[in-house]
Amino acid sequence: MLLSELQNGEYGIVSKVRGRGAFRKRIIEMGFIRGKKVTVIKNAPLKDPIEYSIMGYEISLRRSEANLIEIITPEEAKELVKTSYNGTLSPHNDWELVRTGAKAGSKIVNVALVGNPNSGKTTLFNNASGSKEHVGNYGGVTVDSKMAHFKHKGYTFNITDLPGTYSLSAYTPEELYVRRFIHQQKPDVVINVVDASNIERNLYLTTQLIDMDIKVVVALNMYDELEAQGDIFRYNDLGKMIGIPFVPTVSSKGKGISELFDKVINLYADKDKTYRHVHINYGRQIEHAIEAIQTPIKDSDNQNINIHYSSRYLSIKLLEKDKQAHRITGKSGSYDEILAITNQQIERLEDIYNEDSEILITDAKYGFIAGALKETYTENKHKKRQNTQIIDAFVTHKLFGFPIFLLFMWISFYTTFKLGAYPMDSVLNSVKSAV
């Protein structure tokens, strides 16, 4: 249950602090740490703030902040002890019972799979959860997601298979769905499923997840194909660079899945050494624009927005002329100012580069990816060439190319006239006989 739902005098044990980066950190720093007891001093209906006592301190939280904290009540704890230990555990006293229950309750991890279509999300989902979801593309079918539960190393995972997307703009229903899911459901960890044999395009989505400032681990899926190509990818180096752990997987064979969820546990428990929030550098001019838009968003009056969305993320989205970002910031009292600065910055950037601001951001993202891969990815120069590549090499060859072109043109004309002569003759004959 949420901390905000506890009434005067009631207590619970913190099981989870949701939300992203900075806000989550602030709440944890105030003492709302997993396993700590928190008691309500004063929670008046519809009144802000709420007063709590934790670790001997009295602390006021806004209702929106208390909504981010999950707690286990004594009643919930009793139930959890029953279901988690099947009656094999009998704690000595009530407090021990509550503690044990809360411990079990804090081992529930919500995970979402995000990635390009055909990167292997459903295969990974099936393999991890043991379910037999049909693998395939449902073109045109209503956007939806599948959820399953499974246990791994004492943790219970609620895993959601989200629709495949190449990006997180708001252009398609799938993209909107995935974005909303991340912002509203706030999964504890997002698994970004990446097709290792098509890394550059797949990482585009990863850069958008970085902007969102959420906990991400990359499942470097189809790793068998990367190995078959003979390419070398120093993914750990890239991971350190972008603050996201990478785990190679071959979902179709179940390889790496266990290691992947070990990583998820580490990330969830704030124990992963690779994970950190980085900023993608968009270059001096764009960075200047982001900062300018960020200033009014960061205003303390906008806490209800900032709690759910990174101000940097919103600024980038506003620069991309994203309707959703306008809808979100539209609720702010300083929207007029945000809008004015956004328009002014877009105009300035488009003047400098003579290019649409949305394209400027996309280019910068791909630039960032290219730079990162240059340092960490070595393509195999002696790849076995595929038949199509051999044909391509011939028909586009400097010397042979043109004669081959003429040959095909000749064949095309020859067959048109020679073969066309037969039906032509019969048509003429039948016309003649009719006359």
Q: Which residues bind ligand GDP (CB under 6 A)?
A: 115, 117-123, 135-136, 164, 221-222, 224-225, 250-252
Report helix, strand or coil for 433.
Answer: helix
Question: Could you say whether residue 310 binds Mg ion (CB under 5 A)?
Answer: no
Q: Which is nearer to Mg ion, 121 or 317 (CB)?
A: 121
Residue 306 contact among ligand GDP, Mg ion, none, beta carbon within 5 to 8 Å by kind: none
| Residue 123 C-beta: closest distance to ligand GDP, Å | 3
Report helix, strand or coil for 231.
Answer: coil
Q: Which is nearer to Mg ion, 46 or 141 (CB)?
A: 141
Question: Could you say whether residue 123 binds Mg ion (CB under 5 A)?
Answer: no
Output DSSP code: residue 196.
G
Residue 250 contact among Mg ion, ligand GDP, none, beta carbon within 5 to 8 Å by kind: ligand GDP
Q: Taking Cα atoms as reference points, which of 265, 214, 219, 221 lies closest to residue 243? A: 214
Q: Which is nearer to Mg ion, 121 or 179 (CB)?
A: 121
Task: With both helix axes pointing from N to C terminus, report the angle between 199-212 and 357-376 in degrees, rounded to the nearest 10.
Answer: 110
Question: Could you say whether residue 160 binds Mg ion (CB under 5 A)?
Answer: no
Residue 245 contact among ligand GDP, Mg ion, none, beta carbon within 5 to 8 Å by kind: none
Q: Which is nearer to Mg ion, 101 or 164 (CB)?
A: 164
CB–CB of 71/52 below 8 Å? no
| Residue 261 C-beta: closest distance to ligand GDP, Å | 16
- Summarize the chain as % helix, strand, coil (round to 5): 50, 15, 30
Q: Which is nearer to ligand GDP, 10 or 225 (CB)?
A: 225
Sheet containing 50-54, strands listed edge to edge, beginning at the edge strand earlier in sequence = 57-61, 50-54, 37-42, 11-17, 69-72
Quick one: how many helices (H) and strands (E) in the chain?
18, 13
Residue 224 contact among ligand GDP, Mg ion, none, beta carbon within 5 to 8 Å by kind: ligand GDP
Stretch that binds Mg ion, among 48-56, 118-126, 251-259, 289-297 (CB under 5 A): 118-126
Output DSSP code: residue 6.
P
Measured distance CA(288)–CA(368) in Å, rounded: 17
Q: Which is nearer to Mg ion, 192 or 294 (CB)?
A: 192
CB–CB of 362/338 below 8 Å? no
Q: Taking Cα atoms as reference points, which of 367, 368, 348, 370 lies closest to residue 357? A: 348
| Residue 161 C-beta: closest distance to ligand GDP, Å | 7
Tokens 């006359």 -> residue: 435
| Residue 136 C-beta: closest distance to ligand GDP, Å | 6
Which residue from 4, 122, 129, 310 is in contact with Mg ion, where contact means CB under 5 A?
A: 122
By CB under 5 A, name the binding residues for Mg ion: 121-122
